[in-house]
């Protein structure tokens, strides 16, 4: 096995562990997502995933459906080709999920701030209020940073899609 092949396999495994640990994905789903990220040139077919991951067709299918439902991956087809080509969902779309979580966090912090402002009667509660105000500033900064990053990713993804469409039409 070449060094590049070992590096690839190690990356897939590291991604798999990352997604399993931090996103509570099943181990195979994490490795599928890792494979799609590492091999994301133009998408990976179902059969290729079965072969590369040495898993049963039903296990691959179940985990692909989970990843599709979660919005972690997407697929496309080519005219005249019955195969589905899977790849990771665009980073901009995946980050939009974080923006939703931050938005929910903002609502909770705002409600807690209003409540604490109305009820703070001792030094501990006033200290808690200062923490909440600092945390709200942090949440607003995170939201702004996510929005900026999403815009950058959308520009990059648009350019990539334009290049992909151009290469597909040139192959015809």
Residue-wise pLDDT tens digits, 8-48: 999 999 999 999 999 999 999 999 999 999 987 779 999 99
Token reading at 172: 């015809």
Q: Are 90 and 153 in contact (CB under 8 A)?
A: yes
Q: Is 146 exposed, middle or buried (0-12, 13-18, 19+ CB in 10 A)?
A: middle
The crossing angle, in degrees rounded to 10, of helices 46-53 and 27-38 is 110
Strands of the chain, DSSP E: 44-45, 73-77, 84-88
Distance CA 54, CA 7 (A): 18
pTM of the model: 0.77
Q: Is a pLDDT exceeding 60 seen at residue 172?
A: no
Distance CA 13, CA 131 (A): 39
- Give the pLDDT score at 1: 64
Handedness of CA 82, 78, 5, 26 (dihedral sign): negative
Three-state DSSP class for residue 44: strand
């Amino acid at each position: 096995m070449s060094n590049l092949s070992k590096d690839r396999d190690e990356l897939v495994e590291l991604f798999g562990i990352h997604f399993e640990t931090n996103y509570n994905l099943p181990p195979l789903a994490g490795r599928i997502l890792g494979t799609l990220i590492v091999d994301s040139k133009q998408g990976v077919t179902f059969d290729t995933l079965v072969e590369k991951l040495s898993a049963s067709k039903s296990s691959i299918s179940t985990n692909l459906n989970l990843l599709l439902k979660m919005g972690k991956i997407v697929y496309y087809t080519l005219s005249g080709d019955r195969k589905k080509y899977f790849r990771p969902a665009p980073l901009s779309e995946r980050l939009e999920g974080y923006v939703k979580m931050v938005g929910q966090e903002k609502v909770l912090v705002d409600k807690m701030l209003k409540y604490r402002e109305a009820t703070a009667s001792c030094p501990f509660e006033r200290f808690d209020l200062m923490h909440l105000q600092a945390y709200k500033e942090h949440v607003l900064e995170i939201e702004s940073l996510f929005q900026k990053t999403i815009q950058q990713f959308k520009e990059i993804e648009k350019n990539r899609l334009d290049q992909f469409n151009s290469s597909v039409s040139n192959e015809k």
